[in-house]
C-alpha cells in the first residue's frame, strides 16, 4: 500500500473546518490553534454581572423590607408614647414596650431605639420640624429607630451590612377634661351577630368601644386605650394587643341623635334645576342655595364649590381628582358617591337617604357646625375605600353599617355610630375629642404628624 503524506505549506494561514472539530485557526507554520480559551474571561464577566444583579434584587429587597419594618415600629412607638405625654417616664416606658414586643415577634428585624439619643420631645411654644409651633396643651415626641441588614450576594463586592434608619413624630393634644370618650358604637343587638370587627395591625383606637353584641379584634399591635364593652363575646386574635379593659355590658341605645328634618332647607333657592351635570376640569360651582330634582354629577378634575346648600332629589356623584368643597351642606335623597384622589371637604356635611361611598383619598374632611360629617339612612350605610383618608366628625349609619377598607385611616374629633362597624386595614387612628365623643369627656387626641 502506498501512503501519501499531506503537508501544509508554511505560508498557509487562516481557518480550516475539520469534521468533528469545527473551526480552528491555522498559523503560518501550519499549526492549528484552538480559540476556545477566549470564552473563559467572557464567562467570568457574565457571571459577575449576574451576581451583581442578584445582589441588587435580593439585598435591595431586604433593605426595603427592613425600612418598612422599622417605620412600622417607630410609628407605633411614637403613637403609644405620645399618648402618655407630658409624663415623659410613662412615655418612654410605653414606647419601649412597643419596640420590645415587636422584636419578640419579628426577631429577623430587631429594631433599636436608644432612649437617650433617639427621642426628641417638644412642648408648647416649641417648633416641630415640618409641622410648626406647638400650642398650649400640645406635646410631641420624635422616635428614631434603627435596624441592621446583613447583605448576602453584595458581600462579593466588599459590602457586608447596612443600617436602615427611620423616624416618626406623634403629637398629643391634651385639651381639657378627663376620662375617655367613646369612639365606636355598634347598635346591632341580635344574638350571635358581630357589632365591631377590627382587622389589621397597628390600629390605634383612642377611646371606648361599645357593641350591643360580639366584638372581634384580629391582628397584631392593636391598641384600645379605653374599654371594650360587649355582649356575648369579645374575641381577641393576634399578638401584642394592648386593650385597656374588656367588660360585658348591657344593650344601650345610640348615644347621639341627628334628625334629617333639621338639615332640610325648603327655600327660597338661587338655583332650581331638574338635574345638574358639570364636565371638564378646573370649574367653579356657584355658591348659594340649590334645589335639584334629579341627579347631580360632577365629572372632571379640580372643581370647587364654597358656601352652598344642595337639596338633591336623586343621587350625588363626584368623579375626578382635586375636588374641593368648603362650608357646604349636601342633603341627598338617594346615594352619595365620591370617586377620586386628593379630595378636600372642609366644613361640610353629607346626608344620604340610601348610602354614602367614598372611593377616594380624602386629604382633609371636616364637619360643618354640629359635629356631623356624614349620615346615611340606608342599610348600605357609609363605606370608605382607599388609604390615607382623614375625617373630622361623626359618621352615622343608624340603619346600616360603617366599613373602612384601606390603610392609614384617621377619624378625629368624632366617632363611628352604626348597626355594625368593620375596619379592614393597618395603621388606622380613631380619636374622640370633647363634645363629639361620648361616654365621658374626650380623651387626648394623638396623631402622627410626620
* Percentage of residues of the chain with pLDDT beyond 70: 82
Domain, as residue range, for 312? 182-440
pLDDT at res. 269: 96
- pLDDT band of residue 381 (cuts 50, 70, 90) is very high
pLDDT at res. 316: 97
Whether residue 346 sits in one domain with residue 369? yes
pLDDT at res. 28: 55
Q: Is 240 a member of any domain? A: yes
Whether residue 402 sits in one domain with residue 291? yes
What average pLDDT score do residues 326-344 get? 94
Residues constituting the chain: 450
What average pLDDT score do residues 187-196 get? 93
Whether residue 239 sits in one domain with residue 132? no
Taking 3-state DSSP, the helix, strand and coil percentages for the chain, each rounded to the nearest 5, stand at: 15, 45, 35
Burial of 37 (0-12, 13-18, 19+ CB in 10 A): exposed
- pLDDT band of residue 180 (cuts 50, 70, 90) is very low
Whether residue 306 sits in one domain with residue 414? yes
Element (H, E) at 48: helix 39-82
What average pLDDT score do residues 12-40 get? 52
CA distance 278 to 398: 32
What average pLDDT score do residues 42-50 get? 68
Packed helices 39-82 and 88-105: angle between N→C axes, nearest 10 degrees = 140
CA distance 12 to 15: 10
What average pLDDT score do residues 124-145 get? 91
The 3-state DSSP class for residue 331 equals: strand
Whether residue 279 sits in one domain with residue 159? no
Q: Can you tell me which residue has the cell 480559551?
A: 37
pLDDT exceeds cutoff 50 at 9? no
Whether residue 401 sits in one domain with residue 366? yes
Last residue of a domain, one of 103, 138, 173: 173
- pLDDT band of residue 370 (cuts 50, 70, 90) is confident
Last residue of a domain, one of 114, 139, 173: 173
How far apart are the two ends of the chain, measured CA to CA in Å?
98
Whether residue 196 sits in one domain with residue 54? no
DSSP state of 126: P
Handedness of CA 408, 372, 313, 271 (dihedral sign): negative
What average pLDDT score do residues 402-415 get? 86
Whether residue 49 sits in one domain with residue 122? yes
Lowest mean pLDDT among 32-36, 198-202, 431-435: 32-36
Cβ neighbours of 19 (radius 10 Å): 5
Decide: pTM greater than 0.85: no
Whether residue 188 sits in one domain with residue 58? no
pLDDT exceeds cutoff 50 at 98? yes
Whether residue 222 sits in one domain with residue 166? no
Q: Is 16 a member of any domain? A: no
Whether residue 200 sits in one domain with residue 321? yes
Whether residue 155 sits in one domain with residue 304? no
* Percentage of residues of the chain with pLDDT beyond 90: 44
List C-alpha distances in Å: 373 to 94, 256, 344, 399, 412: 33, 13, 13, 17, 11
Amino acid at each position: 500500500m502506498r501512503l501519501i503524506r499531506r503537508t501544509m505549506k508554511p505560508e498557509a494561514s487562516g481557518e480550516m473546518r475539520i469534521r468533528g472539530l469545527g473551526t480552528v485557526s491555522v498559523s503560518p507554520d501550519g499549526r492549528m490553534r484552538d480559540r476556545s480559551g477566549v470564552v473563559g474571561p467572557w464567562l467570568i464577566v457574565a457571571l459577575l454581572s449576574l451576581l451583581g444583579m442578584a445582589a441588587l434584587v435580593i439585598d435591595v429587597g431586604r433593605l426595603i423590607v427592613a425600612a418598612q419594618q422599622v417605620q412600622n415600629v417607630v410609628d407605633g412607638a411614637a403613637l403609644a408614647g405620645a399618648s402618655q405625654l407630658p409624663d415623659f417616664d410613662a412615655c418612654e416606658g410605653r414606647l419601649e414596650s412597643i419596640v420590645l414586643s415587636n422584636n419578640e415577634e419579628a426577631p429577623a428585624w430587631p429594631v433599636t431605639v436608644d432612649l437617650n439619643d433617639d427621642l426628641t420631645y417638644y412642648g408648647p411654644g416649641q417648633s416641630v420640624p415640618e409641622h410648626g409651633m406647638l400650642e398650649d396643651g400640645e406635646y410631641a415626641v420624635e422616635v428614631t429607630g434603627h435596624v441592621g441588614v446583613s447583605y448576602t450576594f453584595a458581600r462579593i463586592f466588599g459590602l457586608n451590612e447596612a443600617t436602615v434608619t427611620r423616624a416618626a413624630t406623634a403629637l398629643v393634644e391634651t385639651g381639657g377634661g378627663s376620662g375617655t370618650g367613646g369612639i365606636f358604637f355598634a347598635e346591632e343587638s341580635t344574638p350571635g351577630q358581630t357589632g365591631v370587627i377590627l382587622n389589621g395591625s397597628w390600629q390605634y383606637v383612642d377611646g371606648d368601644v361599645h357593641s350591643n353584641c360580639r366584638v372581634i379584634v384580629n391582628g397584631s399591635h392593636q391598641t384600645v386605650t379605653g374599654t371594650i364593652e360587649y355582649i356575648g363575646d369579645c374575641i381577641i386574635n393576634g399578638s401584642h394587643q394592648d386593650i385597656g379593659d374588656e367588660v360585658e355590658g348591657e344593650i344601650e341605645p345610640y348615644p347621639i341623635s341627628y334628625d334629617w328634618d333639621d338639615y332640610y332647607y325648603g327655600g327660597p333657592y338661587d338655583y332650581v334645576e331638574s338635574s345638574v351635570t358639570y364636565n371638564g376640569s378646573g370649574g367653579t360651582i356657584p355658591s348659594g342655595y340649590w334645589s335639584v330634582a334629579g341627579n347631580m354629577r360632577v365629572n372632571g378634575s379640580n372643581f370647587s364649590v364654597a358656601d352652598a346648600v344642595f337639596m338633591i332629589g336623586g343621587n350625588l356623584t363626584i368623579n375626578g381628582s382635586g375636588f374641593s368643597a368648603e362650608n357646604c351642606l349636601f342633603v341627598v335623597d338617594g346615594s352619595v358617591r365620591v370617586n377620586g384622589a386628593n379630595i378636600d371637604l372642609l366644613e361640610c356635611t353629607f346626608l344620604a337617604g340610601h348610602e354614602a361611598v367614598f372611593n377616594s383619598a380624602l386629604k382633609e374632611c371636616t364637619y360643618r357646625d354640629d359635629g356631623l360629617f356624614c349620615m346615611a339612612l340606608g342599610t348600605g350605610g357609609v363605606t370608605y375605600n382607599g388609604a390615607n383618608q382623614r375625617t373630622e366628625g361623626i359618621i352615622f349609619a343608624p340603619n346600616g353599617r360603617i366599613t373602612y377598607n384601606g390603610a392609614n385611616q384617621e377619624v378625629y374629633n368624632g366617632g363611628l355610630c352604626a348597626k355594625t362597624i368593620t375596619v379592614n386595614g393597618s395603621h388606622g387612628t380613631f380619636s374622640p375629642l370633647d363634645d363629639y365623643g361620648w361616654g365621658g369627656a374626650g380623651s387626648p387626641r394623638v396623631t402622627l404628624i410626620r
